[in-house]
Structure 1
Amino acid sequence: MDLFGESENWEKKLEPILSKYKDRKHPLEYQNTYQLMVMVILSAQDSDANINNIAPLLFAKFPTLSSLIDTDIETFMSYISKVKNYPTKAQWIIDIAKKLKEDTEIPSTLQGLTALKGIGRKSANVILRENNKPTEGIITDLHVIRVAPRIGIIKESKDGNKVEKDLMQLLPKNIWSEIGMAISFLGRETCRPKPKCEACMLNDICNYYLNEVI
């Protein structure tokens, strides 16, 4: 639902955050696609900061997918034991390594990525965006789930897939690749659970600010 009834204007309304955050690298501190894929899987239900903290030792020990194929899962888990749900995530990553075998075999499509264990649409969209691959969806993390309804683009929902679908129906495809992370960065920096509305560059068009704050 377009609360403003002007879906054709959303690209213009969101231009301030698109301009500010366009091409900004994801907060996960990865060096290549293999590292990004592993870190995205590990970050589910966890913080980017925590994954960044464990990454250096993890990738020093396991620098490629092929280095994971024959590793003992207990050894691998010892490097990610501070990550939420690490036993399950460890098995997913080992299974992916055995399936793909080489870093060069990591898929570059939404369908290919989501066929792998532990990678849903959100994770796949992050990997595609960071690798400048063709857009097939909109990154919808917990910040987007909170902020997009607050702005007034869509109705509130806790279902990330529904939020993504609603955004895709309303926003032009030419901004899909960047708008998810732009909204996410806004949520990380300004539109926090307790929002800093006065400092927000979208407060002149924000449904929450216009109707709840002023």
Structure 2
Amino acid sequence: MLKKERYRHFVSHFSAKQPNAETELNYNNPFQLLVAVILSAQCTDKRINQVTPALFQRFPTPESLAETTPDIVFDYIRSVSYPNNKAKHLVGMAKMLVDDFSSEVPSDIDQLQKMPGVGRKTANVIASVIYSAPTMAVDTHVFRVANRIGLTTGKTPLAVEKELVKNLPEHTIHIAHHWLILHGRYVCVARSPKCSICEITHICKYFQKNEKITKIFSEIGLGLKKN
């Protein structure tokens, strides 16, 4: 199957099955999403959603978060990964948001990355989710699934990002991010992908390769039995 055809089948399938796919992080405004995404680095969305209600209640605006200290924020996020660094990042991000961006979350990737705790992946998430920009945030799920299916062959997150952006229809890029994440989270899991319930095995290089290997070993086994 040609790569162009694989992309076409991928988009067609998920457009029909998950037309409204979205982030599983809970938020009510761009500021809250920015906080949640910063916290979600190397941590599960489920854990972040347990932490953020109290945090958002205590710090409902960029101004309120900018006026506090990392030590106080730490008490609210102590159960997430790397809470010390993330507490510092959140306060620093809020101060810059207030001082440099008039408390408005910017849509520009470069502007977003100027803030503490905001790397390329986080910036791409904000731009795609809030502003429906054609940006692709590549986390471990996206990286794994895109390469397994055969949509990409990139060895780095940036290479995978560029390949996906190049080949996906522009209007689908912001939602394709969620298709890949959700598929990786619930079906194409890291250690034992659930190929038996996957609906896109017909376009998946990983599945087809394993099926071929299984067939070869099966034929070898039958041949040994005959002897």
TM-score scaled by structure 1?
Answer: 0.89
Deviation at 1:22, TM superposition (A): 2.9
Structure 2 letter corresponding to 1:108? S
1:1-214 alignment to 2 at 5 Å?
4-7=1-4, 10-101=7-98, 104-135=103-134, 137-155=135-153, 157=155, 159-193=156-190, 194-213=192-211
Q: Which runs of 5+ in 2 are unaligned?
A: 213-227
Structure 1 letter corresponding to 2:83? Y
Aligned CA distance change for structure 1 residues 129 and 83 (closer, same or farther; 3 Å): same
Deviation at 1:156, TM superposition (A): 5.3
Aligned CA distance change for structure 1 residues 175 and 11 (closer, same or farther; 3 Å): farther
Please give the per-residue CA displacement for 1:55-92, whole angstroms capped at 9, x wherever unaligned: 11111111111101221221111111111111111111
Deviation at 1:45, TM superposition (A): 0.9
Structure 2 letter corresponding to 1:118? G
Which sits farther off after the overlay, 123-132 or 52-61?
A: 123-132
Deviation at 1:133, TM superposition (A): 3.4
SS state of the match for residue 202, structure 2? coil
Contact 1:122 1:139 in 2 (8 A): yes
Contact 1:152 1:207 in 2 (8 A): yes
| Higher helix residue share | 2
The higher relative CO (CA closer than 8 Å, separation ≥ 6) is in: 1
Contact 1:64 1:103 in 2 (8 A): no
Please give the per-residue CA displacement for 1:134-176, whole angstroms capped at 9, x wherever unaligned: 32x212121111111110111253x322221222233332321
Larger radius of gyration: 2
Aligned CA distance change for structure 1 residues 204 and 8 (closer, same or farther; 3 Å): closer
Report the Cα distance in structure 2 between the residues aligned to 1:144 and 1:134, rounded to whole angstroms. 17
Report the Cα distance in structure 2 between the residues aligned to 1:174 and 1:15, rounded to whole angstroms. 13
Deviation at 1:12, TM superposition (A): 3.5
Contact 2:62 2:103 in 1 (8 A): no
Aligned CA distance change for structure 1 residues 132 and 99 (closer, same or farther; 3 Å): closer
Contact 1:34 1:103 in 2 (8 A): no
Report the Cα distance in structure 2 between the residues aligned to 1:9 and 1:210, rounded to whole angstroms. 13
TM-score scaled by structure 2?
Answer: 0.84
**Count of residues in correspondence between the two structures:** 209
Report the Cα distance in structure 1 between the residues aligned to 2:172 and 2:69, rounded to whole angstroms. 43
Contact 1:68 1:94 in 2 (8 A): yes
RMSD: 1.9
